[in-house]
Every structure is written in C-alpha cells, then in structure tokens.
Structure 1
Amino acid sequence: MSLPYIRRTYGVPARRGMRVRYTDGDGAIWNGTIKSAKGPHLRVLVDDRVQGYRGRLILHPTDSIEYIQDAMKAIPN
C-alpha cells in the first residue's frame, strides 16, 4: 500500500515530507514528518524530544493525527 492509497481510502492529505502532530493516549504531543507508508499506516520521523533522539512512529492515518503544512513549503508528490 502507498500514500496515494492512504489518501484515497482515508480521505486525509498525507504526503511524504508533510508535517504532522500526533497526540498519544497519555496526552503527549509528538511532532514529526511523514517519511513513507507501511501497509495502511504512516511512518513518521519524530522531531527531537530528548537531545539526540530521532525515533519513528508507525501511525494509523486517522488516529489522533493533525496534518500541518507550512505555507512556505510546497507539498512534494
């Protein structure tokens, strides 16, 4: 499955390089960048939360995700 599949199926604007904000079950907010798709899920590279930490999250496209786009950056296809 791919990002075009995720956009069609779930009606979300997910694109590679797009910024997202995810709120987990404990209320912690994770900011990151969509890097790819893994099946019907998004692979998101998380910004530094702790010095030197660069983890990845695998998230469902409709699960507590806010899609953010910087007006100054074009969305890559």
Structure 2
Amino acid sequence: MSMAWVRGYYGVPAKRGGRVEYTGEGKPELGTICSAGNGRLNIRLDGTKRAMPFHPLWELRYLNRGEAK
C-alpha cells in the first residue's frame, strides 16, 4: 500500500518529507514522513535514527510548511 493509497483511504495530506507532530507519548514530538507500507506511515521522529510505523490517523497532526520547525 503506497503513499497515494494512504492519502486516498485515510484522507490525510501525507507525503514523503512531510512534517508531522506526534502526541501519543504525552509530549509532542516532531517527525518526518519517510515512506508508507502496510497501510502505515514510516516516520522518523526528530532525534532518532530509524523510522517507525505509525497509523495515519492516530495521534498525528500534519504540519504545513510554516508550522514545521
């Protein structure tokens, strides 16, 4: 399942290189979308070396260019 599939199925503006804010661990963390697979987004959180799979709708906020730091 590709990035285009994730965008269409979940109705999110996900794209490679896009910035997100993850709030599932109690404190907001910024990250970068690296790829998509199996209906999930692979996101590398700032300060980590590897991307991890995230559900496209779970505790994610998609940032505009102006919001991304």
TM-score (norm 1): 0.77
Aligned length: 66
**Identical pairs, percent:** 38
Unaligned stretches of 5+ residues in structure 1: 72-77
Name segments (4+ residues, structure 1) moved above 6 Å: none
Distance in 1 (alpha carbons) for counterparts of 2:49 and 2:64: 21
- Map of 2:6 onto structure 1: 6
Query: Structure 2: which 5+ residue stretches go unaligned?
Result: none
1:17 is matched with which residue? 17
Q: Report what 1:75 is aligned to.
A: none
Larger Rg: 1
2:31 corresponds to? 32
2:52 is aligned to 57
Supply the RMSD in Å over aligned alpha carbons: 1.3
Matched to 2:32, the amino acid is T
